[in-house]
Amino acid sequence: MLEVSNLRAGYGAVEVLRGIDLAIDMGEIVTLLGSNGVGKTTFSAVVSGLMQPWSGAITFEGKPIAGLSSQAIVDEGVIQVPEGRHVFPNMTVRENLELGSYRRGKGNRMRNIEHVAEIFPRLRERFSQKAGTLSGGEQQMLAIGRGMMAEPRLLILDEPSIGLSPLLVEEMFSLIKQLNTDGLTILLVEQNVLQSMEIADRAFVMENGEIKLSGIPGDLMDNPELQRSYLGLA
């Protein structure tokens, strides 16, 4: 579904992504793991068109999308939910959701809102509330719901668990799993190794702008390098 090969990108003269190769098949949850500053967010920004790549290829459903504008990539069905939630705080929950669906036409908007409200019933209760007054967990649900409004075929979630309490993190991961069970392909960019591995079909581990390890979670969890670097096990 998504194929990335030899992707390079950076800021100014600083190269952040140093030849990333990665592929996601339809219906999978793929997790991209790595500690702070390894280039995970840069990767999701480049794939979603928020940043231009220096070189390399990205194809989505066979179509090259590297270097396209974020609008064009949204039109193709790749939606990114940015790190840190980023809801529009002065708009109501409903207005936030509607913004996600503007590129899909008026007809689909109501249907999509109903669909999102079914997935996140707590949002329905708060439709007319200002998004800035929601709790962190609700804001994260809204950010994902807003992404769902754009009818994604691939949803990129950038650190959805960041800043949430352990209980909410648990809830968030089971929600992500549920979205995937309903047929959505997900790229989960995370630092939370254990919980990401639990729900992912495959995992990639980044270090210094490169993919260091990749494979199915069961195998990777036994990898001594991963255990040492990310799980604190000797």
Partner 1 sequence: MKTDRKLLMLIAVFGLIGLAPMLIAQDSLLNIIIMTLYAALLGQAWNILGGYGGQVSFGHAAYFGTGAYAVAVLQVQFGINPWIGLVAGGIAAAAVGAFIGFCTFRYGLRGSYFALVTLAFAEVLRILSNSVDFTGAGVGLLIPLERSAANFQFVSKEGFFWVIWILTFAAFLTVWKIGNSRFGAQLMAVRDNEDAARALGVDAFRVKMGAIMLSGFFAGLAGVFYAQYFLYLDPHIAYGAAISVESLLVPIIGGMGTLFGPLLGAAFLHGLSELSRAVIGDAPGISLVLYGVLLVIMVLFVPRGLAGLASHLRSGKPGQPRAEEGKGHA
Positions that interact with partner 1 (CB under 8 A): 48-50, 69-71, 73-75, 79-82, 84-91, 95, 98-100, 102-103, 130, 132-139, 143, 146-147, 150, 163-165, 168
Q: Residue 27 has what DSSP assignment? A: T
- Measured from the CB atom, the residue of 78 and 226 that comes closer to partner 1 is 78
Q: Least CB distance from residue 3 to partner 1, whole Å?
A: 21
- Measured from the CB atom, the residue of 168 and 221 that comes closer to partner 1 is 168
What are the start-end ranges of the H helices in the chain? 40-47, 70-76, 93-100, 106-119, 121-125, 136-149, 166-181, 193-199, 217-221, 224-230
Q: Least CB distance from residue 60 to partner 1, whole Å?
A: 14
Q: Least CB distance from residue 166 to partner 1, whole Å?
A: 10
> In 3D, which of 128, 189, 115, 132 has the Cα closest to residue 157?
189
- Measured from the CB atom, the residue of 166 and 218 that comes closer to partner 1 is 166
- Judged by DSSP in three states, 151 sits in coil
- Measured from the CB atom, the residue of 80 and 180 that comes closer to partner 1 is 80
CB 210 within 8 A of CB 204: no
For 19-49, letters b (16+ CB in 10 Å) and e give ebebebeeebbbbbbbeeebbbbbbbbbbbb
Q: Within a 10 A sphere around the Cβ of 3, how many other Cβ atoms?
A: 16
- Measured from the CB atom, the residue of 139 and 214 that comes closer to partner 1 is 139
Q: Least CB distance from residue 123 to partner 1, whole Å?
A: 13
